[in-house]
Amino acid sequence: MSDQTDTGQSAGGGTQANGTTSGKRQWPDWAALLETAKRVAFNVVIIAAIAVGVPVFVKLVTTRGVVINDITVPSAVADRGLTSDVISRRILDQLHEMKMNAGSKKEQEAITGTSTESQLPDIQLPVGGINLAVAISQIRHFLGYVDTKISGEIVTESAGDDKGNAPAYTLRLRMVGHGVLYHSAKPSASIDSQIAEAAIEVMHRFDPINLGYYLYRRKDYVNAYRMTETALANDSPGDDGWAFNMRGLILRDQGQCPEAIAQFREAIRREPKFAVAYYKLSETLRLTGDLEEAAKVATQSITLAPKDRRGYANLALVFVDQGKTAEALELMQKAVQEEPRSSQAHLDLGVVLHTLNRLDEAAAAFQKSIEIEPDFAAAYSKLSVVLHRTGKYEDARAEAQKAANVNPKSPVPWNLLGLYALDRKDYPHAVTSFQKAITLDQAFVEGYVNLGVALAKEKKFADSTAAFQKAAQLHPRDASVLAHWADALEAQGQGRQALDKRRQAIAIAPKQANLDGRLGRLQEAQGDVTGAIDSYNKATGADARVSGALKARIDSGSRCSGIPPRGWQESRRPGVPRVR
C-alpha cells in the first residue's frame, strides 16, 4: 500500500485543523473561541434582559410620548441666548418643577424634548444584528403608537423704540395635526411668563391630575377643582381615584369634613385598591372624632400597601387618640423598619412621640429626620415645637428660623415664631410674625386665626374680628376657626356671641370632646348649670381622657379651672392652637 498524498483531508474524509502539517496534534484557535463565547454570553444576557424586563419593554412600546421641540425664535431673541432648544428646555423645566411640587406621587406623563425612539440605548439584538431602538420604533408604529409633537414660534409683535419701550412678543404652541395648544393672551416683554403659562396649558392637556395637585398645593382651589373635571372628562384609566381624592382634600382644607369624607369614599368606590384615598379618609375621620371607623380604614390601607408608612402612621395616631400607647409605638417602629432611610418615616415617629408627650424621644426622631434630609423644613419646624415645649426657647426659635431659611416661601416657621411671641406675651412681635405668615400665603388660615387671637390680646377687637372673618371666609366650615373665634369673643365679654360660635363649631364637629367641654364652661358663665353639666357629660362620652378634668364639675355643678389647657401639640383639632 502506497502512502496517500496530503490533500488536507484525513482518512475519514474530515478537514484537519491545520492543513500544513500532517501527523501532528493541532491546537484550537483560542482567540476565535473566546470571541464566540463573548457573543453567545452577550446574546444570552440580552435575551434574558428582555425576558425579565417584559413590562419595561411593553411600556417602551406603548408609551405615547409628548415631544416639545422646533420652537422658531426671532434672531433678536436667539441673540439673547433664547434659542429654540433653550425655550423647549425651559418649558420642560417648568413642567418638571410643577410635577415635583405636585406631591401626588402619580406617575407623570412622558413629556420630553426628544422622541421615545431617540432616547433608547444603542443595543444590537442577537437575531440579525437588529438595533433595539429600530425594533421598538417599528413595533410602535405598527401598533399605532406615535409621539405627539409640539412645535411653535415666538413672534415679535412690536420691535421696541428709542423711547424706552421694550420689544413685545407672543408665544404660540401647536400640536402637529391638532392645531393651536397655547397662544399668549397679549404681547409681553416677558418671555419667561409666557413660558410658564404655556407649560400650564401643556400639563392641562396631557397631565391634568398632577397639574391639579400642583394648583391645590398653591391653594388655588378653584383651578385645582377644574382639573378634576378635566381628568374625569378624559376618562383616563386610574384618574378617577386621584380626581375624587383631590376634591376631598380641597373640601377638607376648607373645613368641610363631612363633604370631604364623601369624596374620599367615592374615590375608593371607583378605585377599590387606591390606597391614597384610604389614607386621606382615615385622617379625616380621625379629625372628626370617628376613631373606630378611622382605625378600620387605616387597617385596610395597610393591607393594600403594607410597605407604605402612611397607613401605619394614620393607625398609630388613631391609637394615640384611643389611649393605646403601646400599639401606636409598635406600629411606628414597624413603619421606620420598612423605610429606615426615609426622613418622613422618622418625622411620623416623632409626631406620635410628641403626641404622647415623650418629648426627648420626639426630638431625637426629628433630628434623625434632619440628618437624613438636611433640607427638610417640616422636620425643623416640628423640632422647634418640641424644643419650645421643653423650655429651650432660644433653640426653638433658632430651629424655626432654620425652617424659614430652608423654605423661605413657607408661612409655617413665621406662624411658629408668632406663637412663641404670643406665649411670652410679646403681642406686637406675635402680630408682626403672623402678618408675615399671611403675606407669604394669603390663604394660610392658621395665620389669620392666630393673628385674631394676638389682636384680641392687644384689645384691638375690631382688627381681631376682621382676622377671624377672613379665616371663616377661607374655611367657612372649619370648627377650629369658630372655636378660636368664640374664645376671642369671650375675652371681649361677649358671652352670648361666644356661645353661638361654639355651638356652630359643635354642629360641624359633633364628636370633638374639647368643643363640648368649652361650651360647658361658657354655659356655666351664663348661669346655665344644667346645660353645662350636659355638655360636660357629652365631652366625657366623646373622649374618656377628659373625664378626670371634668369629674368635679359634673359631680358638683361648680365652676373650676376647666378643660386641660392649650398645649404646643401638633394638632388641628378645634380648641388647640393653630400649629402646622
Q: What is the pLDDT of residues 433-459, one digit of tens each?
A: 999 999 999 888 889 999 998 999 999
Distant-in-sequence, close-in-space partners of 354: CB < 8 Å, separation ≥ 6: 362, 382, 385, 386, 569, 570
pLDDT value for 420: 92
Confidence of residue 329 (pLDDT cuts 50, 70, 90): very high
Domain housing 146:
46-157+167-206
Percent of the chain with pLDDT over 90: 36
d(CA 424, CA 446): 19
Q: Is the pLDDT confidence value at 211 over 80? A: yes
| CA gap 71, 153 in Å, rounded | 5
pLDDT the model gives residue 77: 87
Provide the 3-class DSSP secondary structure of residue 357. Answer: coil
Q: Which has more pLDDT, 16 or 414? A: 414
pLDDT above 80 for 116: no
pLDDT at 530: 52
Q: Place 234 in a pLDDT band, splitting at 50, 70 and 90.
A: confident
Give the distance from CA 221 to its chain's centroid.
Answer: 15
Answer whether residue 519 shows pLDDT above 50.
Answer: no
Q: What pLDDT, on the 0 to 100 scale, is given for residue 145?
A: 58
CA 242 – CA 260 distance, rounded (Å): 14
The Cβ-side half-sphere exposure at 441, using a 13 Å CA radius, reads: 24
Has residue 455 been placed in a domain? no
* Cell numbers found for residue 380: 425643623
What is the pLDDT at residue 25? Answer: 53
The H-assigned helical ranges of 183-238 are 191-206, 208-217, 221-234
Percentage, residues of the chain above pLDDT 70 = 68
User: Could you say which DSSP state residue 576 is in?
Assistant: S
The DSSP-derived string for 65-76 is -EEEEEEE--HH
What pLDDT is attached to residue 496? 80
User: Using one digit for the tens of pLDDT, what is the confidence trace for 140-171?
Assistant: 555 555 567 888 899 998 887 777 788 899 99
What does the pLDDT read at residue 395? 96
Q: How far apart are CA 376 and CA 365, in angstroms?
A: 13
Taking a C-beta distance cutoff of 8 angstroms, is the pair 482, 456 a contact? no
Of 105-119, 286-300, 494-508, 532-546, which has the strongest mean pLDDT? 286-300
Specify if 579 maps to a domain: no
pTM beyond 0.85: the answer is no
pLDDT of 105 strictly over 80: no
315 pLDDT band, cuts 50/70/90, is very high
Name which residue leads in pLDDT, 213 or 505.
213
Number of domain units in the chain: 1
Phi, psi dihedrals of residue 170, rounded to the nearest 5°: -125, 150
CATH number at residue 145: 3.40.50
Q: Could you tell me if 450 and 457 are in contact, meaning their C-beta atoms sit under 8 angstroms apart?
A: no
In which band, very low, low, confident or very high, does the pLDDT at 121 lie, cut at 50, 70 and 90? very low
499: helix, strand or coil? helix
At 574 the pLDDT is: 34
The answer to whether residue 147 is domain-embedded is yes
In a domain, 345, yes or no: no
pLDDT at 416 over 70: yes
- Averaged over 265-284, what is the pLDDT? 95
pLDDT score for 218? 82
Cα-based angle 83, 198, 229 (whole degrees, multiple of 5):
160
- Of 150-164, 199-213, 375-389, 514-528, the poorest mean pLDDT is in 514-528
Question: Residue 281 — very low, low, confident or very high, per pLDDT cuts 50/70/90?
Answer: very high
- Torsion sign (Cα): 187, 193, 198, 204: negative
Exposure string over 456-483, b if 16+ CB within 10 A, otherwise e: bbeebbeebbebbebbbebbebbbbbbb
> CA 510, CA 257: separation in Å to the nearest integer?
12
Residue 548 within any structural domain of the chain: no
In a domain, 62, yes or no: yes
Q: What is the pLDDT of residues 538-575, one digit of tens each?
A: 544 544 444 444 344 334 433 322 322 223 333 333 33
Predicted pLDDT at 162: 75
For residue 9, give the 3-state DSSP assignment.
Answer: strand
In a domain, 141, yes or no: yes
Cα(151)–Cα(67) distance, rounded to whole angstroms? 8
**Contact 411/218 with Cβ under 8 angstroms?**
no
Q: Is the pLDDT assigned to residue 521 strictly greater than 80?
A: no
- In angstroms, the CA 511 to CA 337 distance is 34
Alpha carbon of 282 to those of 261, 310, 313: distances in Å?
Answer: 9, 10, 10
Q: Would you give the DSSP letter of residue 324?
A: -
DSSP state of 15: B
Q: What is the pLDDT of residue 177?
A: 74
What's the rounded mean pLDDT across residues 384-388?
94
Q: How many residues does the chain have?
A: 580
Residue 285: CB atoms within 10 A of its CB come to: 24
Dihedral sign for Cα 383, 386, 390, 395, please. Answer: positive
What residues does 172 pair with on adjacent strands? 153, 183
User: Any residues with CB less than 8 A from the CB of 27 and at least 6 apart, and which?
Assistant: 17
Q: What pLDDT sits at residue 68?
A: 79
Distances (CA, A) of 80 to 69, 139, 191, 492: 19, 42, 12, 62
- DSSP string computed for 447-491: HHHHHHHHHHHTT-HHHHHHHHHHHHHHSTT-HHHHHHHHHHHHH
Look at residues 446, 375, 452 and name the one whose alpha carbon lies nearest to residue 407: 375
- 3-state SS track over 493-546: CCHHHHHHHHHHHHHHCCCCHHHHHHHHHHHHHCCCHHHHHHHHHHHHHHCHHH
How far is the C-alpha of 312 from the C-alpha of 336, rounded, in Å?
Answer: 10
CA distance 544 to 417: 33
Least confident segment among 210-214, 363-367, 392-396: 210-214
Write down the pLDDT at residue 148.
Answer: 74
Q: Write the pLDDT tens digit of every residue in 168-193.
A: 999 999 887 778 888 998 998 888 88
Residue 1: exposure state from Cβ atoms within 10 A (0-12, 13-18, ≥19) = exposed
Pick the more confident residue, 72 or 263. Answer: 263
- Among the ranges given (69-78, 303-312, 319-328), the one the predictor scored with the smallest mean pLDDT: 69-78
Task: Output the pLDDT for position 479.
Answer: 77
Identify the pLDDT of residue 138: 52
- pLDDT of 386 strictly over 90: yes
Question: What local confidence, expressed as pLDDT, does residue 489 receive?
Answer: 85
Is position 67 within any domain? yes
